[in-house]
Chains A and B, each alone.
Chain A
Amino acid sequence: MKRTPISVWAALAVLAAVTAAAAFAPWLVPGATDQDLMTGITGPGPGHPLGTDDLGRDVLDLLIAGARTAVPGAFAVAAGSMLIGNLIGLTAGYFGGWADTLAMRWADLMFSLPALLVAIVVAGVLGGGYGLAIAVLVVLFAPTDTRVVRGAVLEQRHRPYIEAAVLKNLSAWRIMTRHIWPNIASVALANAFLNFAYALVSLSSLSFLGLGVAAGSPDWGRTLADNRTQLLANPWAVIAPGLAVIATAAALNIVGDWLHERVDRRGRAR
C-alpha cells in the first residue's frame, strides 16, 4: 500500500475541523450572532483574533457558526444529486434503448443551462430561501452524476460477470445495485466530492447575492457579502470567510481524489 501523502493529511485535517465546527457550533460559540454595536468594527486584537464586523460580532465565532450552514447544505446537494444521478445513470446504462436516450437528452438539456444563473433566477422568482437553493442545485448537479455513472456502467455491462448474473436470473435491481454499483463506486464517490466542493462555492455565491440564507444568519458567503464594504476597516472579515470556502473546497477535491484511488484499488491484488 502506498503511503498517504501529506496533502491528504492536511485536507483531512481541514475537513475534520470544518465538520467539528458544523457539528458543535451552538456549544462552541453560543453567542456568535450577538451584536455589540458599541464595539463596532475593529481589526484583529485581544479577545478578537480576527477582529469584529460592523455589528461588533466576532469574525472567528461567525466563521465557526457559518460552517453549520455552509457545509450541511453543500453536503445535501452532493448527496441528493448523487442519489438521483446514480439511479438514473444505472438505469440508463443497464437497460439502454429508450431509457438511455431519454436520460441522456435530459442530461444534455440540463448541461446547456448555466447552473448558477438558473439557481439565481429560480431563487429570485420564488423568493429565495436556503431550502429552495439546495433543491435547485440538486436538480442542476444530478446530470453530471448521471453521465459519469452511465459511462462507467456501460463499461461493466457486457463483462462476463454481469452476464453470469443475468443467467442466474437475478433481478435487474439486484444486478444494478449489488453487482455493478460496487464496481463503479469509486467513480461515483469521486464525482460526489467534486459536486460537494462545487455546491459549497455555489451556495456561498447565492448567499453572497442574498438569495441563500436569511440576512443576519451566520454563513460564509453572507459574512463575506456583509463586510465587503468594510474591507479597509477589517480586511479579515472578508478574507477569512473567503479562505474558509476555498480551503474547504480544495480539501474536498483532494480527499475525493484520494478516496477514488483507494476504492478503485479495492478488489485488485495486493
Chain B
Amino acid sequence: MLRVEGLSVRQPATGRTLLSEVSFDVAPGESVAIVGESGSGKSLTARAVLGLLPAGLAASGLVEVGGRRVDDDPRAQRRQRGSTVSLLMQDPFTLLNPLRKAGKQIADGLPRGADPKTEVPRLLAEVGLPADVAGRYPFQLSGGMRQRVGLAAALAAAPRVLLADEPTTALDATTQREVLALIRRVQRERDMTFLLITHDLRLAFSMCDRVVVMYAGRVMEVGRAADLRREQRHPYTRALLAAEPPADRRLAAIPAVPGSVPAHDAVAGQCAFTDRCSLALAECRASVPPLRPAGDAGRLSACVRAGDLPAAPAPPLGVAAPVRTASEPVLDLRGLRKTFPGSARPALAGVSLTVAPGEIVAVVGESGSGKTTLARCVTGLERPDAGTILLGGRDCSDYARMSREAVRQARRTAQMIFQDPYSTLNPARTVGATLKEALVADGRPADVAALMELVGLDPALAALRPANLSGGERQRVAIARAVAGEPALLVCDEPVSALDVSVQAQVLGLLAGLRERLSTGMLFITHDLAVVRQLADRLYVLKAGECVESGPVDRVLDEPAHPYTRDLLASVPDGTSRWPG
C-alpha cells in the first residue's frame, strides 16, 4: 500500500543530509510505527511521504502509494493527499482554525457530492463525539475533543492510509489512552493502513503490527511488534526500551545511554549509534552497516553483531527508601488554597503535604490538577489565597510581606527546576556566567568547574551559550544552577517531560544521585507514574486542586485505592496489544 525505498532528504543550501536510505513498506490494512527520539528523522520521513517537506529541503528516492509512484510527480502527490493519505497532526491546539466551527472544518475534507448534513454527524459519532460539537468553535472544546475533531476531519475523505504524527503527545495520559483506543478501533473498522510516528516504543508495540526504529536519520531495526518487544536485534532498540522506566516495579537504576542523538552528518560513514554503544567493534566505524535480515521473519537490523548480541541481563530491582519520619519537615504545607482571578474553579482547594529532609515526594496529576500552581506557591512565584507554607520551619506563606533577609533565607532553602529546557536558561549568557552568578548569589565560592562536574557536565561547556547545548545538557545546567547553594528543598516542575527517553533516564539518575550526595529533599511535580515509581519515596495524587490519595509510592501504585489513581495507572502504555483497550 505504501512503499518507501532509499529515501534521502538533504538541505542543498548547507549540504547537510538529514535522512539517508530510509526504506520500509506497509501492507494494506497493516499498522506500522516509526519510532525514534528527536532528531531521528521520523517526522521528516512522514512529511516526505506526503510531499510536505519544509522549504529548502530536497528528497530523493522512491515513494509509492497504492502501487503508484508519487515522489516525482507533485500533482499525483497532491491528488492522493487527503483522499488516499490523510494526516493527523500532533498539537490539538493549533491543528484547527480557531475562527471556524468544528463541523465546517470536518466538512472541508468531504469528497465532492457528499452531504455535510448527514456526513458530519456520522463522522462525529464515529469518533465518539455528540453531534452538537459541529456547531462549536475550537476554543469551546478540550484538547482530547479537538484531537477527535482532527481525526474526524482526517477521516472525512475516507482515506486508505492514515498517517498520525505523535497524535497524543500533547494530551493528558488518560485522554491519550482514550484517543489511541479510538484510533485503533476506527483503523480496524475501516481496514485502513496506518502509519504512526511516535517517540514511545511501548506505545508503538501496543498500537501497531510492525515497528521501524530510526536513529540519526537512518533505520536501525525493523520487526514485528511482538518479536521486537521480546528480543531486540540492535543495541539502540535495546537501549531505547531499557531507558523507558516501567511503572510496575522500581529498578535500582534506569539503564541510561550516555550522550544524546547526534546529527546525521556527525556520524556519517559509520554506524550512527557506535559512539554510544557498549558493544561496538572496530568494524562498526568502518562503514555504514546495511539493513540485513536478522533472525525471525521480517526482522531487519542494521547492526553488524545482530546475530550474536550478548543477552542483556535484566536490570536489578531497587527498593524504595524507608519512609523518613524526621522531626522537622523541610516543607510543610497546610490547607493551601488558590483561585486565579476570573476562574470559576479553584486551582488549589486546600492541599496539605510534607517533605522530610532528603525525601523525594511526588505530586502527580493531569493538566488542570493544580500541581504546577502548588510548585509555584512553594517558591513564591505565586501567592496562595489561604493556607500556610513552612520552609525549614519558617513561615513563607506570603513572600511580599517577608523581610529581605527572610526572603533570602527562603530562596536559599528552596530552589526550582523548570520544565522547558529551551527557555530555562538565559540565551544571551554563557553557561559559565549563569552558574557563576548562581554560586555568588548563594554565597558560595565561584568554582564553576566543580559545580558542572557535580551534575555530570564537561567544564569545557562553560564557555558556550545555551543554544549550542542539547536539551539534556541544558537541563543539567538548570539543575546545577538550582543546587549551587545546596538547597534543602528542590522543587522540580516536570523536569524530564520535554526530554528524550534516553536523556530522561540520565537526568533521573542525576537527581537520584544528588539526593544521596546533598541529601536534598525534592518536591517532584509530574504526570508520569513510571517516573514516580523510579524516583519518589512518597506520592500525592492531585485532581482538580484536591489531593485524592497519598502514601508511600510502592503501596499507592501497587494497591491504588482511588479510581482516579487506577485510571492514571492504566493509562501508562505497557507494550502489550491489550493496551490501550
Contact = CB atoms under 8 A, between A and B. Distances in A.
A179 B416 CA distance: 18
Interface size class of B (residues with CB under 8 A): 20 to 34
A182 B428 contact: yes
Given A159-B423, A160-B418, A167-B411, A183 B379 contact: no
Interface stretch (B243-251, B305-313, B333-341, B436-444): B436-444
Given A160-B420, A160-B423, A163-B381, A168 B438 contact: yes
Interface size class of A (residues with CB under 8 A): 20 to 34
B426 A167 contact: no
B381 A166 contact: yes
Contacts of A167: 379-381, 411, 414-416
A169 interface: yes
Nearest to A175: B426
B68 interface: no
Interface in B437-479: 437-438, 441-442, 465-468, 478
Nearest to A269: B467
B238 interface: no
A250 to B, nearest CB: 30
A133 to B, nearest CB: 36
Nearest to A168: B441
A168 B427 CA distance: 17
B411 A163 contact: no
B186 interface: no
Interface string B405-421: 00110011011101110
A164 B481 contact: yes
B536 interface: no
B556 interface: no
B118 to A, nearest CB: 47
Given A164-B481, A167-B379, A183 B426 contact: yes
Contacts of B467: 267-270
A182 B423 contact: no
A267 B424 CA distance: 14
Nearest to A267: B427
B429 interface: yes
B65 interface: no
Interface string A142-162: 000000000000000001110
Kindly name the residue among A165, A167, A270 whose own CB sees the greatest number of chain B CB atoms within 10 A: A167
B425 interface: yes
A267 B411 contact: no
A267 B478 contact: no
A266 interface: yes
B329 to A, nearest CB: 20
Contacts of A109: none
A119 to B, nearest CB: 36
A168 B436 CA distance: 12
A193 B404 CA distance: 40
B381 A168 contact: no
A183 B428 contact: yes
B427 A169 contact: no
Contacts of B427: 161, 183, 267-268
A160 B493 CA distance: 11
A145 to B, nearest CB: 19
A168 B424 contact: no
Nearest to B439: A168
Nearest to A185: B428
A170 interface: yes
A266 B428 contact: yes
B441 A164 contact: no
B520 to A, nearest CB: 15
Contact of A168 (B419, B429, B481): B481
Interface string B72-91: 00000000000000000000
A158 B408 CA distance: 21
Nearest to B427: A267
A2 to B, nearest CB: 10
Contacts of B424: 160-161, 164
Contacts of A270: 467-468
Contacts of B466: 267
Contacts of B478: 164
Contact of B423 (A161, A166, A169, A178): A161
A182 B466 CA distance: 14
Given A160-B420, A267-B467, A269-B467, A168 B437 contact: yes
A267 B465 contact: yes
B59 to A, nearest CB: 24
Contacts of A170: 437, 441
Contact of B418 (A164, A166, A183, A266): A164
B437 A161 contact: no
Nearest to B428: A182
Contacts of A266: 428
A260 to B, nearest CB: 15
Nearest to B421: A160
Contacts of A185: 428
A167 B420 CA distance: 17
A165 B425 CA distance: 10
A57 B262 CA distance: 69
Contacts of B468: 269-270
B416 A164 contact: yes
A160 B423 CA distance: 6
B430 to A, nearest CB: 10
A161 B442 contact: no
A267 B428 contact: yes
Interface in A151-207: 159-161, 163-170, 178-179, 182-183, 185
A225 B43 CA distance: 65
Kindly name the residue among A169, A183, A185 whose own CB sees the greatest number of chain B CB atoms within 10 A: A169
Interface string B365-404: 0000000000000011100000000000000000000000
A169 B428 contact: no
B465 A169 contact: no
Given A161-B424, A267-B465, A169 B429 contact: no
Nearest to A163: B381
A178 B438 CA distance: 13
A17 B419 CA distance: 51
A167 B427 CA distance: 18
Contacts of A169: 407-408, 411-412, 441
A86 to B, nearest CB: 15
A154 to B, nearest CB: 15
Contacts of B420: 160
A163 B468 CA distance: 22
Given A164-B418, A168-B441, 9 more contacts: A163-B418, A164-B482, A166-B381, A170-B441, A182-B426, A183-B428, A267-B427, A269-B467, A270-B468
19 contacts: A159-B423, A160-B424, A161-B426, A164-B416, A164-B478, A166-B381, A167-B379, A167-B414, A168-B411, A169-B441, A170-B441, A178-B429, A182-B426, A183-B426, A183-B427, A185-B428, A267-B428, A268-B427, A270-B468
Q: Nearest 3 CB-CB pairs, A to B?
A: A182-B428, A160-B418, A267-B427
Interface of A: 159-161, 163-170, 178-179, 182-183, 185, 266-270
Interface of B: 379-381, 407-408, 411-412, 414-416, 418-420, 423-429, 437-438, 441-442, 465-468, 478, 481-482
